Amino acid sequence: MSAAGSNAPAAPLPTDPGVLKACTFDGARATLKHKDLVSARHLTGWPVMGGAIVTMDGPAHRARRKLESALFGPKNLPRYELEVLQPAIDTALRQAAEQHREEDGVVRLDLVALGRRMMISISAAIVGLDIANDDEARFRRLDDCLTALIGGVTIEWSHDDHTEVLARAVEWKRVFGDEFVAPAMERRRAVIARAGSWADEQPDLISTLLSDAEQQWSYDDVLTESVQYLVASSGTSVTSTVHTINHLIEWFEEHPDDRARVGDADFLRQAAMESLRLHPGPHILMRRAVADVETAEFTAHEGDFVGADLRQANRDPEVFGENPERFDLEREIRKDAQRDGFTFGGGRHVCIGRPLALGTYGRRGEEDVDGTIVRALRTLFAAGVRPSQTATPRRANGVDDRFEFFPVVLADL
């Protein structure tokens, strides 16, 4: 198999006015579940993401989802959080104290950069990149790759020149493969050849793909899937952490008694989910009709492109109540909805990494884990995070609703 990097069908951008859209909660759910509406994501960025799991559908998608979902099962989530994320958080805060403490004794830094240093360790562990937690040079190099690859993955939402963004992303995908993925594949192949399997080692994406008994994975396909997991496992958590802190700081001004709850995992999870609802990132999930489809919101003919507008669906007042555009931890929602709406997708493409970000609360028979976002929030509030009074946040140059720079003070570090 080798779909990665092949040419994708021409498609409109998600924000083009001619794209048919489902904007209500029920309409988005119907669109995401419909069997005749298949994934049409990342077509503009196909040289970076073509062939990744989120671009697939049908039996091949089901098989890959089954293969990769074990990475986020109950055996692995505690390890990611306790053995990977927490040491990374500790390292990042220690470095922050050493490198960003100013003459007045206060630590001032960019929360986006700090969050990425915390979360990139999780990404490396999930993909299987064999980076020691204290190897700062390798993590900086990986972060350089991540920065360019995010540009390629979110290119449909960027206001920058698409040709330049894509060319940069493709070049850094090559660097990511040469310097990280290829050596990891070589090591895993050697262990599997010597021991007969990877069973005695910690599981990760690359070892899972190379151990797949159903099909042979090419280098290009492993590389593209690694790009998908690198960006997804880090990007969502960092973006949500920044947005949630921004919202909570404003919330505490009107609800000062809630400041005492910043160590409560359930409170922080509710806050993260409410923030995720309001900020679904690239917020229109594109689908292509493989047959004529009629819903309550549109009629699509075979070959038409349609989109589920998550930003609108997540603010449907019929589901999320009055003032759905506001951050409100006291809001009541319809019983068949989740507080984070469709930010993690829906139907057969719902994100398999959601438990990594939000934890395993309420899952029967599983060890509870906080989730990467909750653990990061609790640590940052313990460090006294608050907005900087001397610098201004900067958003990304596009419509994907994320901060590129968010200056903060860590008053208690």
Angle between helices 111-127 and 219-254 (to 10 degrees): 140
pLDDT at 403: 93
For β-strands 20-22 and 305-309, DSSP reports them as parallel
Distance CA 387, CA 80 (A): 29
User: Residue 155 carries which DSSP code?
Assistant: G
pLDDT at 236: 85
Stated pTM of the model = 0.93
The structural domains of the chain, ordered by start, are: 20-387 (1.10.630.10)
Contacts with 201 (C-beta within 8 Å, 6 or more apart), sequence order: 191, 207
pLDDT tens per residue across all 413 residues of the chain: 444 445 555 678 888 888 999 999 999 999 999 999 999 999 999 999 999 999 999 999 999 999 999 999 888 999 999 999 999 999 999 999 999 999 999 999 999 999 999 999 999 999 999 998 889 999 999 999 999 999 999 999 888 999 999 999 999 999 999 999 999 999 999 999 999 889 888 899 999 999 998 889 999 999 999 999 999 988 889 999 999 999 999 999 999 999 999 999 999 999 999 999 999 987 899 999 999 999 999 999 999 999 999 999 999 999 999 999 999 999 999 999 999 999 999 999 999 999 999 998 765 555 678 999 999 999 999 999 999 999 999 998 777 788 999 999 999 99
Q: For residue 87, give both structure tokens.
A: 């040491």
pLDDT at 9: 58
pLDDT at 1: 44
